[in-house]
Structure 1
Amino acid sequence: MNSHLILQSDFGISDGAVSAMYGVAISVNPSLKVYDLTHDIPQYNIWEASYRLYQTISYWPEESVFVSVVDPGVGSERRSIVVKTAKNQYIVTPDNGTLTHIKESIGIVKARMIDETVNRLPNSGESYTFHGRDVYAFTGARLASNIITFEQVGPEVPVDSIIELPKTNASIEQGSLQGNIDILDVRFGNLWTNIDRTLFKKLDVDYGDSFEVTIENDTRQVYKNIMTYGRSFADSHLGEPLLFVNSLDKIGVAINQGSFAKAYHIETGAQWKISIRKAPKTI
């Protein structure tokens, strides 16, 4: 029985790159079912590739095979690997930090380096700029089709040798939550933080409570205002900001029917910091 093959990249769909990956996969096995996670990762943005895997992978069945190709180091000495997660799924990817969130949040139990003498598209040996097609889609399709086993991917490598991007954890101190803007809900412009709902609840919160929210980029304050914590966007008026729990059980920041990110020119990453403090009740 075939597993699912799910593709992610920063290629976009304006040319034939993604179609070529599909073609390779289906040539390996015409009955293989191939799906897209996304191909709209910003160019070279390894952090976002890592986050989108984390956002998605838990909702796919065991044995699913993910191919993630955001690879600014293509053709260099960086490793090509396949990992097995603690939930019995596989990810085929360059070893460049793409597995940061998976390693911390889900767990990786084994890793193998791809043996390109065996697991590479035939007659592609002189090309070094499209490993997504020639190595990753080919290997992923063979693994998902049970043509090769995980052990036949290549030699085992230590899990603790997998490259990780710098990642900070949210914290609470003297009634103030400190975290990062990890990612955007891109289409709607909501901010997704790294602050878990359970940590947020330590502020003794109820729906309708008000909070002082401050957002900084390095040392520059970008935003500071009071907003309400709501169950959903309907708990605020049109155009008002609010705090909410997003689909990954993290705290989000939004404008009701507006883009918070565009309104305040907010981006993501370790330098984008957010603090949340319960505002005093006014009489």
Structure 2
Amino acid sequence: MKKALVLQSDFGISDGAVSAMHGVANSVDHDLKIFDLTHDIPPYDIWEASYRLWQTITYWAEGTVFVSVVDPGVGSTRRSIAVKTGSGHYVVTPDNGSLTHIARTEGIVAAREIDEEINRLPKSGESYTFHGRDIYAYTGARLASDVISFEGTGPQVPVESIVRLPVKDAQLEGNLVEGMIDILDIRFGNLWTNISRELFKKLVIPYGGTIEVEIQHGGRTIYQNVMTFGRSFADTHKGEPLVYINSLDNMAVAINQGSFAKAYGIRTGSNWVVIFRKRDD
């Protein structure tokens, strides 16, 4: 039974790179269903590639094959791998940290290093700069079309050997919850944190109540203010900040009809710390 193939990259769609990946996958099996997750990952941003995979993967049927190509180390000694997740999905990707979020949430139950002698687009042996086309799209399509089994992607490697990026776990300490800015809601500039609704609720802040928010980068405070905890943007006036629960059931920070990230120069990753502190009044 054929599985869907979902592609992600930092290639953009201004040239033929993504179309070439589609073409390779289609040449493996004309009936294969091919979809795009996104090709607008910022160039070389492995962290965002990792997050977008996690954001999307569980909404697809078990057995779906994902190809993720954000590969600043293309042509180097970094490995090409295929993994099976705890949720029953497959990911074909460079082993450079792009599986960080999935490893933490869904888990990885098996991993294989892609045998590039077998799983490589024919007549592409002298190309070392477009593995997204020559190795990942080709291998992903062969796996999704059942041309090869998961075992056929290459030799098994220890799951523990997979590269992971550093992550700051969210934690409750007294009257505050501390976590990190996991990702930006790109189009609107909202800050999505790794602080879960359940953890935040332990502060016992009612909807409509206020909470102190502090954002730090490298130990330096970038932003500090008191804002409303709202159900939606309608709970504040235009231009006012708020804390809300996002679509992934985690806490987020926004400006109503404005870009919080742009206003304060906020970015993402484990060195961007967010603190929600309960007020005494």
Q: What TM-score results when the alignment is normalised by the length of structure 2?
A: 0.98
**2:67–2:137 Cα contact (<8 Å) kept:** yes
- Aligned-residue CA RMSD (Å): 0.9
Q: Does 1:256 align with 2:219?
A: no
Following the alignment from structure 2 to structure 1, what is the Cα–Cα distance between the partners of residues 278 and 209? 8
Which ranges in structure 2 are unaligned for 5 or more consecutive residues? none
Equivalent position SS for 1:11: coil
Residue number in structure 1 paired with 2:157: 157
**2:6–2:36 Cα contact (<8 Å) kept:** yes
Following the alignment from structure 2 to structure 1, what is the Cα–Cα distance between the partners of residues 175 and 275? 10
Following the alignment from structure 1 to structure 2, what is the Cα–Cα distance between the partners of residues 273 and 62? 34
Q: Does 1:166 align with 2:175?
A: no
Following the alignment from structure 1 to structure 2, what is the Cα–Cα distance between the partners of residues 79 and 263? 39
Query: Cα offset for 1:21?
Result: 0.2
> Counterpart amino acid of 1:43?
P
> Counterpart amino acid of 1:261?
A
1:190-223 per-residue CA deviation (whole Å, 9 max, x = no partner) reads 0001111111011012111100111111132211
> Counterpart amino acid of 2:111?
A
> Counterpart amino acid of 2:104?
E
Output aligned runs, 1:56-205, within 5 Å.
Answer: 56-205=56-205
**2:167–2:269 Cα contact (<8 Å) kept:** no
Residue number in structure 1 paired with 2:226: 226
**2:108–2:159 Cα contact (<8 Å) kept:** yes
- Taking only the aligned residue pairs, the percentage that are identical comes to 66
Query: Cα offset for 1:52?
Result: 0.5
Following the alignment from structure 1 to structure 2, what is the Cα–Cα distance between the partners of residues 117 and 274? 46
Following the alignment from structure 2 to structure 1, what is the Cα–Cα distance between the partners of residues 150 and 221? 48
Residue number in structure 1 paired with 2:19: 19
> Counterpart amino acid of 1:116?
E
Residue number in structure 1 paired with 2:48: 48
Following the alignment from structure 1 to structure 2, what is the Cα–Cα distance between the partners of residues 221 and 160? 35
Following the alignment from structure 2 to structure 1, what is the Cα–Cα distance between the partners of residues 72 and 269? 18
- How many residues align structurally? 281
1:71-122 per-residue CA deviation (whole Å, 9 max, x = no partner) reads 0111111110100011111000011110011001111100111111111000
Following the alignment from structure 1 to structure 2, what is the Cα–Cα distance between the partners of residues 174 and 201? 13
Following the alignment from structure 1 to structure 2, what is the Cα–Cα distance between the partners of residues 100 and 265? 25
Following the alignment from structure 2 to structure 1, what is the Cα–Cα distance between the partners of residues 228 and 278? 10
Query: Cα offset for 1:280?
Result: 3.3
Following the alignment from structure 1 to structure 2, what is the Cα–Cα distance between the partners of residues 193 and 19? 34
Q: What TM-score results when the alignment is normalised by the length of structure 1?
A: 0.97
> Counterpart amino acid of 2:206?
D
> Counterpart amino acid of 1:139?
T
Structure 1 outlier segments of 4+, above 4 Å = none
Equivalent position SS for 1:77: coil
1:40-73 per-residue CA deviation (whole Å, 9 max, x = no partner) reads 1111111110000010001000110000000011
**2:205–2:211 Cα contact (<8 Å) kept:** no
> Counterpart amino acid of 2:70?
V
**2:190–2:260 Cα contact (<8 Å) kept:** yes
> Counterpart amino acid of 1:100?
T
